[in-house]
Chain A
Amino acid sequence: MVLLGGWIEGFYISTQLVNMDNFANDKLVGRIVDQKFSIDILLNLLADSRGNQAVDELIDQVNELKTVFDKVTVETSAPRPVYDEATQSTVIKSESKVNITKEVFNELTTTVSLIRNSFINP
C-alpha cells in the first residue's frame, strides 16, 4: 500500500508537469507512458493481499488506471543484445512506437488525480 501510494503520487506529479502546448515533443510523456509496464506488477503485488477491504478498493482503483492505459499502444521490436567494447556494457537494441492521444493523456491525468484525491481526502 505504501509502495502504491508513492507510485501514485509520483505519477500524479509527472502528469501535472507535462506541457500540453508541446505534448508531442515532451519527453515526460514518454516516461509517463513507460509506467504502463509497471501497472501489472502493482496489481500482482496487491493481489497477494486480496480479501482485505482496503486492498480490494486499491485494486479497483488501479484497474481503472489500467483501463485507461490499455488505450495507449506501445509496440516494441524484439530486443537484441549487443556488447559495446568501448563502454564494456551491453546495449539492448530495440525500437518502440508509442501511440497516445492528448485525450487519452487527459483521461490518465484525471484518473490518477481522482485516485490521489481519494488517498489525501478519504
Chain B
Amino acid sequence: MKWTKIIPLTALIVLAFSTSAFGQCKAFAKKQCLPELGNYTHDGNYHAAVLVEGEEAELYKTFYSDMEYRVAIVGEDKLPAIEFSVMDANRNVLYSNKEHNYASTWDFRLEASQQLKLVIKVTKFNAADEMPANGCVSIMFGFKM
C-alpha cells in the first residue's frame, strides 16, 4: 500500500525526545550533518527524526533579515536521496534541491524577516519487493552576520 505521512517536525521533535532513537539521531546529526554547516555558526538546535522511504516532514522556522543562513539536511547512507524544498507563507517554492542534484545544503539570506516552511521528503528506491528503508534525517541551521 502506497502511503505518505506528513509529520509536523516540531511535533516529531517533541515525541522523539521520549525515545532512544532520538539519541542515536542526535549523534548522527552531530557527526554527519554538523560538518555540512562549514563556517556557518550552528544555531544550537538539533532537528532529527527517523523517517521511512516516501515519508515527508515539515518544519516552520522564522528567518531574520540581514543574516546569512545555511540549511543542511542529511540522511543516513542507507536512505535514498533526501529531497527538500523551502516555501514562503503562501506555499510558493523559493528553492528545491531536486533541481540541484539533491544538494544537501542551501545558502541564503532574506531582505525582510519572515517565516518559511521547509518540506523534507525521503525519496524512494522503487524496490517494490523490499522492506522500505528507514533511517535518521537531520536538519541543521547555521548563520553568519
Contacts and interface: CB of A to CB of B under 8 A. Distances in A.
Interface of A: 30-31, 34, 37-38, 41, 44-45, 48, 76-79, 81, 87-96
A96 B115 CA distance: 13
Nearest to B14: A48
B27 to A, nearest CB: 21
A76 B95 contact: no
B60 A92 contact: no
25 contacts: A34-B65, A34-B113, A37-B62, A37-B114, A41-B10, A45-B10, A48-B14, A78-B88, A78-B90, A79-B94, A79-B110, A79-B112, A88-B107, A89-B68, A89-B108, A89-B109, A90-B106, A90-B107, A91-B109, A91-B111, A92-B94, A92-B109, A94-B110, A95-B111, A96-B65
Contacts, number: 71
A37 to B, nearest CB: 4
Interface in B30-70: 60, 62, 64-65, 68
A91 B110 CA distance: 6
Contacts of A37: 62, 113-115
Chain A binding site: helix, strand, loop or mixed by DSSP? Answer: mixed
Please give me the 3 A-B residue pairs with the lowest Cβ-Cβ distance, nearest first: A89-B107, A96-B112, A37-B62
A96 B88 CA distance: 14
Given A48-B14, A79-B110, A41 B62 contact: yes
A99 to B, nearest CB: 14
Contacts of A92: 94, 108-111
